[in-house]
Chains A and B, each alone.
Chain A
């Protein structure tokens, strides 16, 4: 069906646009966005943070019963209220997700997902938490090289991510193959 390819591509493009536009609707957070307004980059990233929790298995005992799973933001918070909105109402394995803002990596105790802002110092010190059961996420370039686990990238104007599987293993985290499938790149070696 080679001759129909242009139409198909156009169709897909429209579909993608629609999908992106509709994303906030999943969570019924229409009030946060004006009508038909495309979600901002960090709104998308906030939603992804919440979604990552669904594909990660923490080591036994790292998540206690009925306690919420804290999603921490270290450094300068690029999300604003978008993160709280994204986490609100989300439950993973019965656990609610809560946002926590921390100043430095010293305060990561209890965090299970850690967004590291694009701060060179912070990025360089990620190695300090590499053995903790914390899923580390950042949109800083070369985050993975620094021992980070998930790095947001922009591809074709869309928010995608890369995964460092070795780092996750080092931390004792088990990342679902489902998540690996939608990642743009998966690094299996350190």
Chain B
């Protein structure tokens, strides 16, 4: 680049100097030639004058010689010319042209030449190429009596001319030197702006930098105009370039596919998003036809309907379509806006353009949202029903159990009553599951290590899935700790394993994996309810029959089952769903018919915590003699719970509401060891009761009963627990016994 500049500068400057030199040299030479010519004339005139004088002298001095035919005297006269070395010949002639006397210093033997022809005058002369001659009449008494003829060489003139020419040449050389120095000095004024211009132009064309400027020139001559115009031009180009870059950035950086199709349906332009969307790696791949990235159906529709409509000026086409990725198989669902691009001047249709947005992710998210909303509403309905149903079941099951206790072993009513009790138990189990699904069941959140849970379940799972299925367990080292109810966590694993087993009636392979997944922004964007972060992953995969899309969209609905009549409750996966949601996790199914299914469960990873030690349920004898105050507004439940406790040896005080309970507590003279209260009661809630009760009987534990577990029932400073309705007699006694025993352990 530097070489080019320098070369250009040299050549341009050299040219300029050369032109100055040439012009000056030409002028000088022409002037000098004129001078030399004029000088030559002067020399000639001088020579003629000098020769004329000599001829005059000769003529005057030879009159007598001529008149008296004294050639000797004439020769003497002529010999005086020896003092004029330029005279090569001199002759005296008679009036009729007869030679009379001659003088020839260089060639004495030379014959006397004949006089010049032509009319004779007083004096005449002529220059020839090599010499000159002069002829002068000799006059005596006004009459011509002869003439003198002198011939002279031009050596004098030649020498003078040579000298003159030499001087002129020296003057020319000196002048040219001065011209050279001056032009070399002054050419900068001319060349600098031009060289700046050239350099700038070079920078612009090589580096595409339009921000450079030629240093401004003050003069208003053509160069000044050129420089200023060039700068203006650069400013305009820069402005256009910035404008262009803005649009390029806008178009290239958007996530929307923006493309231009020629009237021949060949791709003219496609932005980066477009290339990514159809899997075109190289930028500006030529000769892409719409058939290449539209499925046939859409290519046909475009060609036959959409584009002709635009050509008929019927307006833009806006709608959903599908485009095809070059390498990936499933077509991508897109929203598409197709419009015609008109020539800005003529308004003629120039090409077609389309703005295409990939909405497959949005569609997927919408589907996810729909699913989750569906399950949410089902859950609310199921939860509401289950709660009310629970209270009824407590009575049905409770009295059935009571009656069974009272009947003799051989009573014929016993079988029927046991049938009722079993149905009650089954119904209770169902409602419990429904409550879990609707996330209303009671939970005991603990930090648990997923790998431990799976390991502990291993033996049981083996038994559960049978011998036809190969079970592989792969525990990821990094799986880590999550927060959930340990029992429910086990239930998730068992339910998924059972589901997998049922999908493989003819045997297969069950793969249970644990691990860690770090969800990034993109993963989070495409997975509803997953935010970026670290997750503990449980993956249960089978090689079974797989699922269709339709089935997949409904598997978490309660009571939805593909298994035969009576083979499943349809609540297994619903329960799993409920538990996972409860734990803040999410569950994903990947399945295609015939390809098996994979369930992936994600739990937020608990970083930096160690798993809690599993609390073992105290398994003492489920009897007692302590005094228990029972507060329950529902009469049937109060009676049932009272009877239950009294059968186990407890002393029971009963209250129909909180105020009664407080009154009894105050009035009772003996010691009350435990308060068992419904969480929700008129006049005074369970929690308020517990707090006031604590003032009377400090340190006495409280056991709450509730259909809901989402209430915060943890009064500070109270030893308390919660039992969820409906509960089995064993569950109730176990909870009561557990609280009393814990109190006793603390006291001792």
Chain A positions near chain B (C-beta within 8 angstroms):
1, 4-5, 7-8, 11-12, 15-16, 18-23, 25-26, 44, 48, 51, 54-55, 90-93, 158, 160-161, 176, 178-179, 181-182
Top 8 A-B residue pairs of the complex, sorted by shortest distance between their CB atoms: A178-B64, A4-B109, A182-B70, A51-B67, A22-B98, A1-B108, A7-B109, A182-B68
Contacts A19-B98, A178-B61 known; list 5 others, CB within 8 Å. A4-B108, A11-B109, A15-B112, A21-B98, A182-B73
Contact segment of B99-107, B340-348, B529-537: B99-107
List the B side residues contacting A19 at CB < 8 Å. 69, 71, 94, 98, 100
Q: Given the interface contacts A16-B71, A48-B68, A91-B141, does A26 sit within 8 Å of B95 by beta carbon?
A: yes
User: In chain B, residues 394-443, which have Cβ atoms closer than 8 Å to a Cβ of chain A?
Assistant: none
Q: How far is the CB of B94 from chain A (nearest CB, A)?
A: 5
Residues on A with C-beta less than 8 A from B96 are 22, 25-26
- Chain A residues, Cβ within 8 Å of B492: none
For A55, the chain B residues whose CB sits under 8 A away are 64
Are A158 and B69 CB-contacts (below 8 A) given A1-B108, A7-B109, A8-B109? Answer: yes
- Mark contacts of B60-82 with chain A using CB atoms, 8 A cut-off: 1 yes-contact digit, 0 otherwise: 01011101111101010000000
Bound-state CA distance A44–B68 (Å) is 9
How distant is the Cα of A164 from the Cα of B524 in the complex, in angstroms?
159
Q: Are A12 and B71 in contact (CB under 8 A)?
A: yes
| B111, CB-defined interface residue at 8 Å | yes
Chain B residues whose C-beta falls within 8 Å of the C-beta of A4 in the assembled complex: 108-109
Chain A residue with Cβ nearest B68: A182
- Given A15-B101, A19-B69, A23-B69, are A8 and B95 also a contact pair (CB < 8 Å)? no
Collect the chain A residues with CB atoms within 8 Å of residue B67's CB: 48, 51, 54
User: Within 8 Å of chain A (Cβ to Cβ): is B226?
Assistant: no
Q: A51-B68, A179-B64, A181-B64 are in contact. Are A25 and B112 (CB under 8 A)?
A: no
Report which of B64, B99, B102, B145 forms a contact with A182, defined as CB distance below 8 A: B64
B140 at the interface (CB under 8 A from A): yes
Q: Closest approach, in angstroms, between the C-beta of B275 and any C-beta of chain A?
A: 112
A55 vs B75: C-alpha distance when bound (angstroms): 20
From B77, which residue of chain A is reached at the shortest CB distance?
A181
Are A15 and B63 in contact (CB-based, < 8 A)?
no
What's the least CB distance linking A157 to chain B, in Å?
A: 12
Q: Return B225 CB to nearest CB of chain A, in Å.
A: 80
Smallest beta-carbon distance B440→chain A, Å: 160
Residues of A within 8 A of B61 (CB): 178
B92 to chain A, nearest CB (A): 9
A25-B68 CB under 8 A given contacts A4-B109, A8-B108, A15-B112:
no
State how many angstroms separate the Cβ of B396 from the closest Cβ of chain A.
178
Residues of B within 8 A of A93 (CB): 141
* Chain B contact residues: helix, strand, loop or mixed: mixed
Which B residues are CB-close (under 8 A) to A181?
64-65, 73
Q: Which residue of B lies closest to A89 (CB)?
A: B143
Output the residue of B69, B71, B94, B95 with the most chain A CB within 10 A: B69
Contacts of A92 in B (CB 8 A): 141
Q: List 6 A-B contacts (CB under 8 A).
A: A19-B94, A25-B94, A51-B68, A158-B69, A178-B63, A181-B64
Q: How far is the CA of A125 from the CA of B431 in the complex (A)?
A: 207
Question: Are A54 and B141 touching (Cβ within 8 A)?
Answer: yes
Interface size on B, residues (CB 8 A): 27
Min C-beta distance of B429 to chain A, whole Å? 167
B interface, CB within 8 angstroms of A: 61, 63-65, 67-71, 73, 75, 94-96, 98-102, 108-109, 111-112, 140-142, 145
A4 CB to nearest chain B CB (Å): 4
Find out whether the CB atom of B71 lies under 8 angstroms from the CB atom of A15. yes
B63 touches A18 (CB 8 A): no
Docked CA distance A176–B63 (Å):
12
Contact across chains for B141 and A11 when beta carbons are under 8 A apart: no
Q: Which residue of A lies closest to B73 (CB)?
A: A182
How far, in Å, is B110 (CB) from chain A's closest CB? 9
CB neighbours (8 Å) of A20 from chain B are 69
Min Cβ gap B109→A in Å is 4
A146 to B673 CA separation, bound complex (whole angstroms): 215
The residues of B that contact A16 with a CB separation of less than 8 Å are: 69, 71
Partner of A26, one of B65, B73, B102, B145: B145
Kindly state the separation between the CA atoms of A4 and B108 in the bound complex, as whole angstroms.
7
Instruction: Please state if A22 and B94 are interface contacts (CB–CB under 8 Å).
Output: yes
Which of A1, A20, A181 has the most chain B CB within a 10 Å cutoff? Answer: A181
Chain B: minimal CB distance from A34 (Å): 17
Residues of B within 8 A of A21 (CB): 98
B41 to chain A: closest CB distance in Å? 36
The verdict on A25 contacting B95 (CB below 8 Å), with A8-B109, A55-B64 known, is yes
List, in ascending order, chain B residues with CB within 8 A of A182's CB: 64-65, 68, 70, 73
Q: Which of A26, A55, A161 has the most CB of B within 10 A?
A: A26
A19, B70: Cα distance in complex, Å: 9
- Closest beta carbon of chain B to A46's beta carbon, Å: 13
A160 to chain B, nearest CB (A): 8
In Å, the complex CA distance between A22 and B99 comes to 10
Question: Which residues of B lie under 8 Å from residue A179 when comparing CB positions?
Answer: 64
Which residue of B has the minimal Cβ distance to A55? B64
Choose among A5, A8, A176 the residue with the greatest number of B CB atoms under 10 Å from its CB: A8
Residues from chain A with a CB closer than 8 A to the CB of B111 are 11
Known: A26-B95, A48-B68. A15 touches B108 (CB 8 A): no
- Give Cα A92 to B142, complex, Å: 9
Q: Which residues of B contact A176 (CB under 8 A)?
A: 64
Q: In the complex, which residues of chain B have a beta carbon less than 8 angstroms from the beta carbon of A11?
A: 102, 109, 111-112
Query: How far is B99's CA from A7's CA once the two chains are assembled, in angstroms?
Result: 16
Residues of A within 8 A of B112 (CB): 11, 15
For the complex, what is the distance from the CA of A44 to the CA of B69, rounded to whole Å? 10
Per the bound structure, the CA–CA distance linking A160 and B71 in Å amounts to 12
Kindly list chain A residues whose C-beta atoms are within 8 Å of the C-beta of B73. Answer: 181-182
Rounded to whole angstroms, the CA-CA distance of A20 and B66 in the bound complex is 10
Nearest CB in chain B: distance from A177 CB, A: 9
A179 — nearest CB in chain B belongs to which residue? B64
A22 to chain B, nearest CB (A): 4
Closest B residue to A1 by beta carbon equals B108
Within the complex, the shortest CB–CB distance from A2 to chain B, in Å, comes to 10
> In the docked arrangement, what's the CA distance between A184 and B75, Å?
15
Q: Which residues of B contact A8 (CB under 8 A)?
A: 108-109
For the complex, what is the distance from the CA of A176 to the CA of B64, rounded to whole Å?
10
Q: How far is the CA of A9 from the CA of B236 in the complex (A)?
A: 102
